Structure 1
């Protein structure tokens, strides 16, 4: 999963609030796109292929918003998907090779940093663009808006949930990391920075008497290394971890994606861990967190699956990071073309999804 930023799982009232997010982007004012209002020009939306998982679901949500834009009749909107960075670069080149006067703007979720040159060509052509999710820092200041989830907030949300449920300074924590990108770095740092009192979550900082020291974070938090956003890799890693029965005492498992959380649950449900070790694991009543909005994991939180496992846990939770955020990126482009001010640094806040509020959040399959 490209990592991935929106509470995109949140209710309609919260979504509407973010769609009106404001700020200023002086660099974008007076751009070629500002004159496109009512012109019937085309907004091109470029995403990875619509296949499966978080990344694949971006295109699904994009199509919903594109239909809305086309129905309004002010602009045309068109989705183009790619299964590689080279194909996405070719798509940009093909769009720019046509009549640029008919282009209202481009919304793009870059496949990787190699798309930077294509984005620069968009800028050079005088066409406004919105970047989504994977923000390429070298060209970020040329965008109308950079729409992304709060990756630090994901770490902070998981840490806050653990603290609320009794985690004490120095308690052992195991972190299942996504990959080696800045997304994982931010999700790691947010976890530690909340515990040490440097950042807040949901408007609140950790209580002074619950704060951790930097040394406690470094000594007590173990990181898995890159799981490559893979459920099967996480399952195998968890089974290997529990091959040492002393690790059965770990109570706090922070998975940086719902797929990784599902890997832990599958390991606990499978035969790769001895029954004796499982008994020791369940005796601690461990807590598991994820993030993203995967429907299969939300079904666990809703109480509809894996309940033979969940009854032995302290709790399961997910932090919002929905692929539906792409709809906010498209709306930012429409707002810009309509002459409205949009925030260039558009970060979507996170919320914790538990059994008590899961009904209020959208999920993806």
Structure 2
């Protein structure tokens, strides 16, 4: 009898522990769905999965931040912001999301190599919104800015300010691929069409860092005794270029652009007291919010635009306050 009662006690203990384990697991899943993670666990048919590259650049850190912000703002009960360091890891994450039948995916692919993985999502009949970089798949919607429009809009701003005359230095970052080439192509095409008397000189950097901007600007300023403006194709590069101008004590440079949506550069624009007009053209990480809104709409059975290209906005001292966000990492 004692042995029988002992056996019953042990069984009750196992059942109790099992129930506690299940409860804790559920709690942890709910908590982890609110944090940026590289893991795919804890998702289901009601989960909106945001799949993005890891933050190796300030802009991508901003994407992760605004993704979290929008998911919370929409009141999503289950969501996951999932990061990866490379193409293979991202493809594996997508396979896991498909096997767990998530409700929708917002995907910023590392490269176009993710087209195969994206087509798997579509084949599984999971709603797919592509963000920033295109893939070859029949996605529900694509959300991005326009690099070509950034070049065109900046060219119009500078061409008008310089009244169609002067010298502009243009930054190129070949390692960034189409980002650099498209922004420059849009800029040069508009200059040629509308402001043919403006002379363009080139400067080339190996990355979009402040240090690279500083180095290439020093070389360019040494080689050119007079430059009226600089078309920098990235905000972080612009910070380095501005440092080079100040260190060289150049007074000829009257305009310095940026591109992106960097809070550091926004602050420079706001607090600028020099004779240089600082401005930037938006290609903001906040665009991920629009992609997440579209994913939620598709999950709710609504249709969205196949192509949603966010217009470029020129940010100057006059409107910069609208773009400042002290909590943003970029």
TM-score normalised per structure 1: 0.72
Provide the residue aligned with 1:14 in structure 2: none
> Structure 2 matches for 1:285-364, cutoff 5 A?
285-303=253-271, 307=272, 311-313=274-276, 315-363=277-325, 364=328
Residues 278-324 of structure 1: CA deviation (Å, up to 9, x unaligned): 3xx31x24210001111111111101xxx5xx5242x1101111101
| Displacement after TM superposition at 1:230 (Å) | 2.0
Is 2:217 aligned against 1:238? yes
Provide the residue aligned with 1:207 in structure 2: none
Is 2:101 aligned against 1:113? no
> Structure 2 matches for 1:1-365, cutoff 5 A?
41-50=46-55, 53-69=58-74, 71-73=75-77, 76-98=78-100, 100=101, 103-136=102-135, 138-139=136-137, 142-169=138-165, 171-179=166-174, 180-197=176-193, 211-213=194-196, 220-244=199-223, 247-270=224-247, 273=248, 278=249, 281-282=250-251, 284-303=252-271, 307=272, 311-313=274-276, 315-363=277-325, 364=328, 365=330
8 Å contact from structure 1 (residues 130, 144) kept in 2: yes
Tell me which of the two structures has the higher relative contact order, counting C-alpha pairs closer than 8 angstroms and 6 or more residues apart. 1
Q: How many residues align?
A: 283
| Displacement after TM superposition at 1:167 (Å) | 4.1
8 Å contact from structure 1 (residues 61, 326) kept in 2: yes
Change in Cα spacing, 1:72 to 1:124, as seen in structure 2 (3 Å) is: closer
Residues 40-82 of structure 1: CA deviation (Å, up to 9, x unaligned): 621111112246511111011101112234x354xx2211111
Whole-angstrom CA distance in 1 between matches of 2:236 and 2:124: 40
Residues 67-99 of structure 1: CA deviation (Å, up to 9, x unaligned): 234x354xx22111112222211111222233x
| Displacement after TM superposition at 1:330 (Å) | 0.7
Provide the residue aligned with 2:37 in structure 1: none
8 Å contact from structure 2 (residues 51, 106) kept in 1: yes
TM-score normalised per structure 2: 0.79
Unaligned runs of 5+ in 1: 1-38, 198-210
Change in Cα spacing, 1:61 to 1:190, as seen in structure 2 (3 Å) is: same
| Displacement after TM superposition at 1:154 (Å) | 1.1
Which structure has the bigger radius of gyration? 2
